[in-house]
Amino acid sequence: MALKHKLILASGSPRRVELLHQSGIEPARLMPMDIDETPKKSEHPRSLARRLSAEKGDAAFAAIKSDAAWQGSYILSADTVVAVGRRILPKAEFVDEAAAALHLLSGRGHVVYTGICLITPDRKARQKVVETKVRFKRLSGRDIEMYLASGQWRGKAGAYGIQGLAGSFVQKLVGSYTNVVGLPLYETMLLLAGEGFDVHAGWQEG
């Protein structure tokens, strides 16, 4: 792969890696960035997704800017936020957090925002925030109990992953499905292609 086409993904999310693979792109390096994801006071969910994606990209750039082997790379970062109105649901780490989130989402609509940030080889930053509206069916006590037992809520924004068991909870979705998984593919490919990254380089058969 030519140096100018190296892509660094500033994330350790298996789901984002899988989505890029689905699009024929193999990140040259994964760089999960450990930043403070605490929302600021009265921060809108959309603004939070935008800010955190930018901060992750900036952190990755700072980490590689003095490394000649990675100069000329593209850096892609993303952050997904789930919200009911302006209420931001944290990434669930404990079972009580997950249970509270699922009870809140039961039978109602919520919005998933993903901020994507691309830092180009000439150090330009390009950003986009994509939103998808999702409505869950009314969850029974058994639904919640068994989903919690599955463990698929751990580390997920809103305490669920649509690509897993919780996909059966979705009554209606308006917008990008891949956005809810964690990386809106249409917008990501558009951003990459618009900045000169060859999104088709990995499409050749064999």
Name residues whose C-beta falls within 8 Å of residue 49's C-beta, 6 or more positions apart in sequence. Answer: 79, 80, 81, 113, 114, 115, 129
Token pair for residue 22? 């689905």
User: CA of 73: how far to CAs of 5, 37, 40, 121, in Å?
Assistant: 7, 25, 31, 5
What pLDDT is recorded for position 205?
66
10-residue mean pLDDT profile of the chain (206 residues): values are: 72 94 94 93 96 96 90 94 96 95 98 98 95 98 98 95 97 98 97 95 77
pLDDT given at position 65: 87
Residue 180's φ and ψ, nearest 5 degrees, are -70, -35
Rounded to two decimals, the pTM is 0.93
Q: What is the four-CA torsion angle of 23, 192, 172, 92, rounded to 10 degrees? A: 90
pLDDT at 69: 87
Question: In this predicted structure, what is the pLDDT of residue 71?
Answer: 85
What's residue 81's pLDDT?
A: 97
Domains observed in the chain: 7-195 (3.90.950.10)
Catalytic residues: 79
